[in-house]
């Protein structure tokens, strides 16, 4: 059985998908754009966008009763690999102890011309 996870503190889905889905003790968080849910404004710069994307993930995980410590895998999408260093510097501050497994890829483009989008998988 699956359960939809939704947080008003994170931006709503911009398409036919859920912010998160829980199934079998795992929570799958959809790619989070760096949009502030309160203002609807996208952060500027790769560092600020990475921070906002991770904050959005934190809000969705909190709605499921989880924290960043529950994250076992992330995927980072970058509009250009030159943003990797800025993203990585911020990313490292969101995890304590062992880091989750991660993939980071450069893509041709991201929705709304974002520079960074991050998704994750967490476990109970």
Domain positions in the chain: 2-123
pLDDT < 70 stretches in the chain: none
Cα–Cα distance measured from residue 18 to residue 28, given in angstroms and rounded to the nearest whole number: 10
How much is the pTM? Answer: 0.97
Mean pLDDT of the chain: 97
pLDDT on residue 14: 83
Contact 59, 7 (CB under 8 A): yes
Contact 45, 30 (CB under 8 A): no
pLDDT on residue 123: 98
Q: Write down the CATH number for the domain with range 2-123.
A: 3.30.1330.40
Q: Under 8 Å CB-to-CB from 51, ≥6 apart: which residues? A: 34, 43, 90
């Amino acid at each position: 059985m699956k359960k939809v996870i939704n947080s008003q503190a994170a931006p709503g889905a911009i398409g036919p998908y859920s912010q998160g889905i829980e199934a079998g003790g795992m929570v799958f968080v959809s790619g989070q754009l760096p949009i502030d849910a309160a203002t609807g404004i996208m952060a500027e710069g790769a560092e600020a966008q990475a921070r906002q994307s991770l904050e959005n993930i934190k809000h969705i995980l909190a709605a499921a009763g989880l924290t960043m410590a529950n994250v076992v895998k992330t995927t980072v999408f970058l509009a250009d690999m030159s943003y990797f260093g800025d993203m990585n510097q911020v990313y490292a501050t969101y995890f304590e102890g062992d880091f989750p497994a991660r993939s980071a890829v450069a893509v041709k483009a991201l929705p709304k011309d974002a520079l960074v989008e991050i998704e994750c998988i967490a476990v109970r």
